[in-house]
Amino acid sequence: MEQLKTIGRELAMGSQGGFGQSKEFLELVKSIGEARSKAEEDRIVLHEIETLKRRISEPDIPKRKMKEFIIRLVYIEMLGHDASFGYIHAVKMTHDDTLLLKRTGYLAVTLFLNDDHDLIILIVNTIQKDLKSDNYLIVCAALNAVCRLINDETIPAVLPQVVDLLGHQKEAVRKKAIMALHRFYHKSPSSVSHLFPNFRKRLCDNDPGVMGATLCPLFDLITVDVNSYKDLVLSFVSILKQVAERRLPKGYDYHQMPAPFIQIRLLKILALLGSGDKLASEKMYTVVGDIFRKCDSTSNIGNAVLYECICCVSSIYPNPKLLEAAADVISRFLKSDSHNLKYMGIDALGRLIKISPEIAEQHQLAVIDCLEDPDDTLKRKTFELLYKMTKSSNVEVIVDRMIDYMISINDNHYKTYIASRCVELAEQFAPSNHWFIQTMNKVFEHAGDLVNIKVAHNLMRLIAEGFGEDDDAADSQLRSSAVESYLHIIGEPKLPSVFLQVICWVFGEYGTADGKYSASYITGKLCDVAEAYSNDETVKAYAVTALMKIYAFEIASGRKVDMLPECQSLVEELSASHSTDLQQRAYELQAVVSLDAHAVESIMPLDASCEDIEIDKNLSFLNSYVQQSLENGARPYIPESQRSGVLDISNFRSQDQPEASMHGLRFEAYELPKAPVTSRIPPASVAPSTELVPVPEPSYSRETHQVASVPSISDAGSTELRLRLDGVQRKWGKPTYSSPTSSTSNASQSTSNGVTQVDSAANVNSKARHTHDSRKPQAEITPEKQKLAASLFGGPSKTEKRPTSASHKVAKASSHAAEKSQAPKAAVVSNQATLDKINHQPPPDLLDLGEPTVTNSAPSVDPFQQLEGLLDPTQVTSTVNHGAVATEAPDIMALYVGTPAGGQSSSAENSLPSNSYDVNLTSELSNLTSGTTNAGATLTQFTKGPNPKDALEKDALVRQMGVTPTSQNPNLFSDLLG
Amino acid sequence: MGIRFILMVNKQGQTRLAQYYEYLTLEERRALEGEIVRKCLARNEQQCSFVEHRNYKIVYRRYASLFFLVGVDNDENELAILEFIHLLVETMDCHFGNVCELDIMFHLEKAHFMLEEMVMNGCIVETSKTNILQPIQLMEKSS
């Protein structure tokens, strides 16, 4: 009996197996498909490798068998194991004459090999031959391979043939030839630079497929060089117009949208061509406006095209009507329940606010909802938007939010990113010094070593220089608050190194400056730091130098210095350190401490880290000496370059800048040309200049003017320490930094950042309004949200244009208005919440065939409502009105409009015995159609796919082979489109 | 370049199809697939179908037990990619008839051939189902 069964099964499968493949292959796929763990899968694959290694090199393997072996190799690599032993066989298969085998060979080779692999050279010849084939499918296969395997060295071998194929009679060939050129352009732009006109020519190809493909290389070319393609604007516009008017063959339609992927690419190209070009943009307005109107806003693909329209509109020269249309679409996206649409909406909003900043305010609550959404993707996108709309009035809220989020995540990649964003915003918009320092503290504390070291240097510079105002009191207050906050933080365990460096430096410079803390207190803290982070040499170096400064200031002010015992031992320990740097600093400290007050004051003047050191690069102070020597009969100095008598180009420069001739190499950047007067007097002495020249001009080492007198103790340590600041750009000058007192600078700043608030009174106003808003608790359900909205968006922009006196009133009124407009929204939200609750209660996984009983088990609640909640996000719009859903129907029908669809009711016609399978099918189908049914109606089904009978047969066949839905992995059978 | 890779991975995290449009070593692929599959599988149905991963953006969509993951550059239209995935599934459905995971496993090369028609150099070049399937049907006939 058993035997009969087996024989029957074998017969059913035939010698070739059910899918035209051998039983062996089916077994392999079956076992991989049913593997329950990665380990089990690995075991199967390793066994397979052993088998193949043995069998693939046997002589006289039939071609079909070999093809199967190659596919098995592909499996091995796909599952993460090395199949290099079989590469050569894949290469050999490309030589075969049969189309299927050749193409399989090419496929395997493209999957296995990078274009610099040694085996490629064995294929180039075959590719050349195949490109000449009479069978266009073989030519296509070869062109596919060209796109993957030809590198810049082998391009010349196939280029002429590929160019010939651009005129091939088959459109598929022309299309692939264009893409081959596109690939060559990526690999080596110069190799095809003479062929660019071909791309223009193919744009006018009769076949829309070829035209569509040509847009890819053209997009790349236009990205690089817009101006050369301005003449094509009209062509692109007219193509887009034709596409939108459904002039392309129906085959390109997707969900009733005419060739949406081509439309999107065209819109991308137009965005490039119209950017900053009013003339070109004007040609596009009509067609883009048409698309806005025509696009089906209920389907995903329609929204994708609309999104691309917004991108285009915000890139080209602004047009009020189009901006309005874009704003409408954005508000629809943001109001949608679908997270995907919200995401696109936030992104689009970020693009549009660059042009019309006021649009953001309409969407305050939606943006805040997205910001507070648990979905990380949405949250990050929203931060991106906030970053774009930051101004001095809302920077505090935004940066606080960013920091909170930064603290909450573990992903270092994104942490680094958002930390740099915080720093950037804080540097640009900080409303007060105190806030800035607090913010930086937080960033350093939590992102620490992920922060760029430059940021630390900027912070030190800020504390040292103040805000550029000549207000000493404010500056010293800033410093005191910095010291204060650092003393507070220093107790925390495990601070990042960069932050500790800043702390030590600030302690050293300003720890005792305001007299609040004694030297012994600060030095004690510094010793603690050095001890607690004894593995970090940089921190220790900063700490020791800070100690030296504090002692120097003490001595200079005439107080007696008592070194703390722990400090003493630290210095002793460091003077025996393995690090020469630490050693030197320790010795310097000891040397400074033993000096008298006057000397110390000269070395370490109090608060002089910002003094500019003037460097006389021409050594003009030696002029009189030189003059005297000359008069005494000394020979005049001849620059080295002139001595040789040979003039080369570098000599011209060295005549202008004599200091250059003193060194073989210049390390600093070339300055602007100096006045010729100074250059005429060449410096006579080389020795002193070598000491001075490498110090760049805006250096911080205040002791350089002392160099001559106390060269030995010029404390290389602290010089070096300060020299590090030199690379830092001047960020803290007057123009870039806003202080709360000067509203005008604020205003000009915000315009420069392209964010609202143009008038000069704005900041005072916004400040007032801000406090007003936060004082007044909102009566609506979401008071915190509205508060947040108010602080983020600062209320409607109109109020800001009013004079200060009126602002209070207006703000009040407008906030009422805002409340009103928000009320319905809030109601909707609460509705939504209950709806959501209903939808959430049973979380059935309808798409999963493994859990069958879901739909029928919950009759108490309307099952369709549940289904709708689980539908594809695009269809959710239809769920709200149960009566009017019929409008959705044609859309779904359209999916299969090209295929013969037969009506089938859910329970009937399914002759399969497996009960669980039946139920699954039902649930899946009901899921498909739930968008089209209204509550209480019976299920009406569409079957999908060309032929349900085929599917059933296929299913039966697989069962015969022993793979049954009830066995280990029933998912293998579930229809993907179910 | 647009599309950087296309993956089909089932609920258990097992790869069913992988196509990369830039070269990655076997180890890099293995690591990348592990990371993004873990990330995407952990998300629920309400959340966005987009995930950022390193410098890729992953657009994914689930069909029954199978996840389709497409890694794209940052300036790609995510919704369009989402629909591209659907187009791919529809095309396979058209060819196989009620396509299921097993179809892709048994006809791995055919699934690849379809992708070869649809995507070249990481760009979507063909979206007409007839044009995509014609060469494959011709090939089947000839052999």
A75-106 pLDDT, tens digit each = 999 999 999 999 999 999 999 999 999 999 99
ipTM over 0.90: yes
Q: How far apart are CA A863 and CA A855, in angstroms?
A: 7
Enter the tokens of residue A417: 């990113």
Vertex A271, ends A265 and A277: CA angle to 5°? 150
Enter the tokens of residue A294: 């025509």
Q: How many helices (H) and strands (E) does chain A have?
A: 48, 0
Mean pLDDT of chain A: 74
Q: Which of A163-167, A506-510, A688-692 has the highest mean pLDDT?
A: A163-167
Indicate whether A227 pLDDT > 80.
yes
State the best of B16, B44, B46, B55 to mutate against chain A, taking most chain A CBs within 10 Å.
Answer: B46
Enter the tokens of residue B107: 């006809």
Closest among A209, A744, A18 to B118, alpha carbons compared: A209
CB contact under 8 A, A29 and B106: yes
Could you tell me which residues come within 8 angstroms of residue A89 by beta carbon, excluding any fewer than 6 positions away? A56, A66, A69, A70, A73
Q: What percent of chain A has pLDDT over 70?
A: 64
Q: How far apart are CA A745 and CA A763, in angstroms?
A: 10
Could you tell me which residues come within 8 angstroms of residue A914 by beta carbon, excluding any fewer than 6 positions away? A964, A965, A966
What's phi and psi for A614, nearest 5 deg? -90, 125
Angle between helix A580-593 and helix A537-556 axes, rounded to 10 deg = 10
Indicate whether A13 pLDDT > 50.
no
pLDDT given at position A102: 95
CB contact under 8 A, A216 and B131: no
In this complex, which of A71, A183, A972 lies closest to B108 when CB atoms are compared?
A71
C-beta of residue A300 within 8 angstroms of C-beta of residue B90: no
CB contact under 8 A, A375 and B142: no
DSSP A316-372: BS--HHHHHHHHHHHHHHHHSS-HHHHHHHHHHHHHHTTT-TTHHHHTHHHHHHHHT
Question: Average pLDDT in the A621-632 region?
Answer: 87
Q: What is the pLDDT confidence band of residue A37, given thresholds at 50, 70 and 90?
A: confident
B52 touches chain A (CB under 8 A): yes
CB contact under 8 A, A958 and B102: yes
A664 vs A319 pLDDT, higher one: A319
Indicate whether A819 pLDDT > 60.
no
C-beta of residue A553 within 8 angstroms of C-beta of residue A512: yes
Angle between helix A208-224 and helix A196-203 axes, rounded to 10 deg = 140
pLDDT given at position B73: 92
pLDDT given at position A855: 39
pTM recorded for the entire structure: 0.68
Residues of chain A found within 8 Å of residue B120, distances taken between Cβ atoms: 144, 147, 176, 179, 182-183, 213
Residues of chain B found within 8 Å of residue A947, distances taken between Cβ atoms: 97
Domain residue limits, chain A: 43-112, 625-696+723-747, 754-977
CB contact under 8 A, A98 and B14: no
B108 touches chain A (CB under 8 A): yes
Enter the tokens of residue A343: 């995401």
CB contact under 8 A, A895 and B90: yes
Q: How far apart are CA A755 and CA A744, in angstroms?
A: 15
B114 touches chain A (CB under 8 A): no
C-beta of residue B79 within 8 angstroms of C-beta of residue A304: yes
Closest chain B C-alpha to A682 CA, distance in angstroms: 55
CB atoms within 10 A of CB B101: 24
Closest chain A C-alpha to B64 CA, distance in angstroms: 5
CA atoms within 13 A on the CB side of A329: 34
CB atoms within 10 A of CB A901: 17
